[in-house]
Amino acid sequence: MEIRTTGFGHPDAQKLAAEVQQEYVARYGDIDQTSMHTDHFDPPGGLFVIAYLDDEPVACGGWRAKEQDEDGLLDGDAELKRMYVVPAARGRGLARTVLRHLERTAVEAGRTRLVLETGNKQPEAIGLYESEGYRAIRKFGYYKDHPDAICLGKTLV
């Protein structure tokens, strides 16, 4: 597997992002309404990567810088977004590899904690994050008042 920094505007990133949105539709009945723009993932305030197998995009994820706010986010936080592995490539540890890469790059960019929103209908994602040391934090973001929403965080340094 090769991990490439592509940016969120890259055609492969947009293809995988559209696929993950359909995953949300299947699980929750709608796409993720969280505001996202390609420049949210531009260094140094963010990063978006794609994992390739045999030059085919099979997984992705990114982080974007966050700062202290009324929802409990802190200066130095980075929000994990659009973690996804195509169905045919699941079960090979790709998500874990992408996650660890994103954690490392966030630390290199001076971020001290990764936070994320997921939902209770994504047990695979919850299991991955918990196995990597992510723990429940105060809900934040677009879905902070939604009963299915789960917010997790991990101190990086």
Query: For residue range 54-83, what is the model confidence (pLDDT) as tens digits?
Result: 999 999 999 999 999 999 999 999 999 999
Q: Is a pLDDT exceeding 90 seen at residue 157?
A: no
Give me the number of domains the chain comprises.
1
- Of the chain, the percentage scoring pLDDT greater than 90 comes to 97
CATH at residue 13: 3.40.630.30
Q: Is a pLDDT exceeding 90 seen at residue 144?
A: yes
What strand order describes the sheet that includes 56-65?
2-5, 46-53, 56-65, 77-85, 113-119, 149-155, 135-136
CA distance 131 to 5: 25
CA distance 150 to 118: 5
Two tokens at 36?
């996202």
Q: pTM above the 0.75 mark?
A: yes
**115: nearest Cα among 97, 102, 124, 127:** 102
Q: What is the pLDDT of residues 102-128, one digit of tens each?
A: 999 999 999 999 999 999 999 999 999
The domain containing residue 137 runs over which residues?
A: 2-155
Torsion sign across C-alpha atoms 86, 89, 95, 100: negative
